Homo-oligomer: A and B are copies of this chain.
Amino acid sequence: MVVVVTGCAGFIGSNLADRLLQDGHHVTGIDNLCTGQRRFLENALKHSHFRLIEGDMLNLEGLTKWFRGADCVIHLAANADVRFGIEHPRKDLEQNTIATYNVLEAMRANGIKRIAFSSTGSVYGEATVIPTPEDAPFAVQTSLYGASKLAGEGLIAAYCEGFGLQAWIFRFVSILGERYTHGHVFDFYKQLKQDSSKLHVLGDGRQRKSYLYIQDCVDAMLLAMEKANDKVNVFNLGVDDYCVLNDSIGWITEALGVKPRLEYGGGDRGWIGDNPFIFLDTAKIRALGWKPKLSIREGIVKTVEFLQANEWVLETRG
């Protein structure tokens, strides 16, 4: 199969590209290398079935050309920055909502019928049902990121109805593991590397969050695309558990062998629009036979190990 992966130099994209190549597929990777890292594609670039296009998702003409001959698009390119959304609202609109529209139009122009999409558990806002299932009550959005992903989901579903596409929409918890360059483990590692005697923590440390290991995430996505066959297939992806931020701090500092003084920013959330409790019901994806191999703790430790072995990523924009 010829698979387009948008955002292929990113955390999830590069891991997915490696897996698809390993499984014998041809991969066209598209990335503007704005937050994506060429070094994440070192393996892929050695592969004759891999083609990297350095291009932007706002270039509809380019996308239409680059998609030619593909069987399927896995659309991961996005502004994944939840926290700083209100500093640049246009970014979520352009890189997430309009980019998704462009992907759909480029697919339509090329007669490509299958799309997978990285959405987010943030679309549930501050969920009233926890663990939160895919058919939770309509939520009030609390972040521009979540709102832009929900807009992307809606566009994709409407194209499925209107133009006969088929979609797999994944609502992730935060993902951890190799090539992770963004989020609290990254921030803490960076702080502790600079000064291991103290650690500034956003919020009160009691925020409850769930995390999934990247290889488990890739497994789930590929399994769902193989086995689920509705017109629009929506899946939560996460582990059957959550941790509090303070647990995570304990695991990170233990792995690093440091004992910093903790300085809490205070309040029950890290930033405006932060959700103090994310925990998704994953019964639907588990019913297909998937289960995560790594616990949250194991995922966090793997992430710390990756950062230790790849400190160059600390200098990236994250």
CA distance A143 to B160 in the complex (A): 9
Say yes or no: A154 contacts B147, CB within 8 Å: yes
A138 at the interface (CB under 8 A from B): yes
A-B contact pairs, 5 of them (CB 8 A): A86-B162, A135-B137, A136-B137, A144-B158, A151-B151
Q: Which residues of B contact A136 (CB under 8 A)?
A: 137-138
A55 at the interface (CB under 8 A from B): no
Contact of A162 among B85, B98, B135, B161 (CB under 8 A): B85
The interface bits of chain A over 57-94 (1 if a CB of B lies within 8 angstroms of the residue's CB, else 0) are 00000000000000000000000000001100110010
Interface residues of A (CB under 8 A from B): 85-86, 89-90, 93, 97-98, 101, 104-105, 123, 125, 128, 134-144, 146-148, 150-151, 153-155, 157-159, 161-163, 231-232, 234, 272-273
Say yes or no: B142 contacts A134, CB within 8 Å: no
Report A170 CB to chain B, min CB distance, Å.
14
CA distance A139 to B139 in the complex (A): 11
Say yes or no: B141 contacts A154, CB within 8 Å: yes
Q: Which residues of B contact A141 (CB under 8 A)?
A: 153-155, 157-158, 161
Contact of A97 among B86, B123, B140, B151 (CB under 8 A): B151
CA distance A7 to B181 in the complex (A): 44
CA distance A272 to B161 in the complex (A): 7
CA distance A153 to B138 in the complex (A): 11
